[in-house]
Amino acid sequence: MSQSEQPQLRVIIDDHAQVDPGVLARLTSQIGHSGNTATVMRAPIEILEAVISAQSHGPVIVIDSQLVTGQAMLDALIRGQWSTNAALVRKGVSQHFDQACRVANKHVLSVASSVHRVTQPSHEQLGLVRIGSGSQVREALVAARGYVSELRSATAMTDMLTVILVRAALPVAPLEPTGMCERATSNIGEVIVEADAQDDEDIRMKRALRSNDGFYSTFVLRKLSARVTMLALKNGWLPNQITLASLVISAVAALFFATGSHALFIAGALLVQLSIIVDCSDGEVARYTGVSSQLGAWLDAATDRVKEYALYAGLAVGAMSHGENLWRLAMALVVLQTVRHLSDYNFVAVRGVRESALVVVPLSQSVDNGVASAGSLMDASASLNSRRAIYWLKRVIYLPIGERWLIISVGAAVGSPRLVFNVLWFAGLFGLAYVTFGRVMRSRRWKHAQEISGCEILERQIDPGFFMSWFLADGSHPLAGRFGWAIPSVLRLVELGVIASVCRYHHIGYLWLFAVAFHHYDTMYRALAGFEFPAQLARLGLGVEIRTAMFVLCAVSFTAPLNAVLLIGGVYFSVLFVGIASRQWIVQLTSAK
């Protein structure tokens, strides 16, 4: 959503601290520079009534008058996209107990105020809350009228409003600051000088970078992609255009690999690195300009899969020119990466539901309901993450895309596709075993009921055919158990594993394997966004059990050449799952904007 498309916005300054008029004038000026006007208020009930009045017409921002930050950071906070309620927080335990909060799994789970306390705080509130529109939010605010009207002491309403939302079991996203951002209670003049001395352009660029990248991406790729991003901003390139440019570069690299020429292997290796640098840039441009979208996120993720599997195919073709048949390794990697990625995304989604499940807590209760331990092993692992070296070692073991593509480039540069496949296979298998062990240990302690199990996300991914649909027709929720997050990956392992096993000496089957793997990615992304795969396309896709059974019958039948069947099936599923389904999803996302 561009700035011009932002909904009507009301900004309220909570001046309960009665700051110096010059400080207040600075904040008001910054808000005006961002394209909005601010109303200054002090009484808690007055602020609450103003929020209730404005919230039904659009989002509301309440800012503590003690908040000191630079113009670039404030612009990002005010102009940011509106998907949910949000609060500005910073990691670390606050020196002021009334400004503490607890954050986990990208959710604010508990918040302190002048009369509320947080157990095991992890973050501090910095004095800004963004309140979205919606009937549930309005109901929570209206219900708090009586409580707020009885407050007698000066109260920071940015904190109290966040308490109201969280204790009404409404989601609140944590907003992390960049650069100088303080709720200054002393030496405010010095803090302002430091904030004004910041380079706004540098702050905007830092906010454009991802904060949870892998080791290689963080310390190498992002430093190079920042230059591409500045070039893109200067020339007005759109994020989706950059995504498609990265796809084209990878396609050329795959073609170079397919030649089998050592010189072109080296050229392809360099193009792989260029492709991922450009790929990093699309998200940076989207975050910098504020034009990120669900369509762009899907396009970025979907093309990543196409690029990676095209590179595997190119390497396998190139190896054939040297007398090596590496298709079975290439297919094994497709199976491994698909199972890994689905496991990653689904576990994170289910963990977010189960471990960040909010329950209604009355405002009259001074202390929250406490924190359940994830288990001694998981608690120890989380504690070790505070050590920088161990944190980055874990990130490398996880084998994110930057590391995988580095392996592809290095192996291709030395002219050995077999080296690429073997390293990716063993490193990927080790990484999968490592993370799966941790997830199983963590899942063992989940005891939530079905309604907060996240099973609806998983059940959208079953991809049932006629027989499984009949089995599921009773309305049961077979994936509501604590290990339900693993079931979609197991189903994918069975189907893709059968295809890869049969086709290890029939490389034409790679097309069928790719199309089905892409379909499962697509289905997962839709499920995470709250959508079902279209029923009509699902029927044409036959369903996981019928597709698998049909494939096995084709493999053991002698009525038609297997390669012909694999080619026909591969083309059919590619057209259906990659072509038609992608077009339908793009149209759906575009029309929903």
Strand positions, DSSP E, 3-111: 10-14, 38-41, 60-64, 67-69, 85-91, 100-104, 107-111
Give me the phi and psi of 182, to 5 degrees please: -135, 145
- HEC readout, 283-345: HHHHHHHCCCCHHHHHHHHHHHHHHHHHHHHHHHHHHHCCCCCCHHHHHHHHHHHHHHHHHHH
List pLDDT tens digits, range 356-368: 888 899 999 999 8
Between CA 455 and CA 477 the distance in angstroms is 7
Find out whether 398 and 430 touch, Cβ atoms under 8 Å.
Answer: no
> In percent, how much of the chain has pLDDT > 70?
94
Provide mean pLDDT across the span 95-119.
91
What average pLDDT score do residues 420-432 get? 95
Q: Which residues pair with 62 in a beta bridge?
A: 12, 129
Interval 181-203: pLDDT, tens: 999 887 888 899 999 999 988 88
The answer to whether the beta carbons of residues 303 and 241 sit under 8 Å apart is no
How high is the pLDDT of residue 446? 83
The pLDDT confidence band at residue 70, using thresholds 50, 70 and 90, is very high
Cα 152 to Cα 47, 141, 241, 364: the distances in Å are 14, 19, 56, 15
pLDDT score for 3: 41
In this predicted structure, the answer to whether residue 6 has a pLDDT above a threshold of 70 is: no
Assign 117 to helix, strand or coil: strand
Provide mean pLDDT across the span 137-159: 91
pLDDT band at 2, cuts 50/70/90?
very low
* Structure confidence at residue 376 (pLDDT): 59
Q: What is the pLDDT of residue 216?
A: 92
pLDDT in the model for residue 57: 84
Average pLDDT over residues 61-77: 93
pLDDT, tens only, 21-64: 999 999 999 999 988 889 999 999 999 999 999 988 888 999 99
Higher pLDDT, 584 or 450: 584
Domain assignments of the chain as residue spans, ordered by start? 3-202, 209-355+374-591
pLDDT value of position 81: 64
Q: If pLDDT is split at 50, 70 and 90, which confidence band does 530 have? A: confident
Task: Give 473-528 pLDDT, tens digit per residue.
Answer: 677 788 888 899 999 999 999 999 999 999 988 899 999 999 999 999 999 999 99
**pLDDT beyond 70 at 258:** yes
Confidence at 386, pLDDT banded by 50, 70, 90: low
Least Cα distance to 101 among 177, 202, 29, 173 occurs for: 173
Question: What pTM did the predictor assign?
Answer: 0.87
What's the pLDDT at 1? 40
Which numeric CATH code is attached to 209-355+374-591? 1.20.120.1760
Q: What is the mean pLDDT of the chain?
A: 89
Question: Closest Cα to residue 3, out of 87, 78, 74, 54?
Answer: 78
Cα first-last separation, the chain: 9
How much of the chain, in percent, has pLDDT values that exceed 90?
64
- State how far the Cα of 253 lies from the Cα of 412, in Å rounded to an integer: 10
> What is the Cα–Cα distance from 320 to 258, expressed in whole angstroms?
9
One of 3.90.550.10, 3.10.20.30, 2.60.40.10, 3.10.20.600 is the CATH number of 3-202, namely: 3.90.550.10
So what's the pLDDT on residue 8?
Answer: 57
Give residue 135's identity as a one-letter amino acid code.
S
| pLDDT over threshold 70, residue 549 | yes
Tell me whether strands 10-14 and 38-41 are parallel, antiparallel or unpaired.
Answer: parallel
Spatial distance between the Cα atoms of 69 and 196, rounded to a whole number of angstroms: 8
Task: Please compute the mean of the pLDDT values over residues 112-128 and round it to a whole number.
Answer: 93
Find residue 125's DSSP bridge partners: 89
Q: How confident is the model at residue 382, as a pLDDT?
A: 62
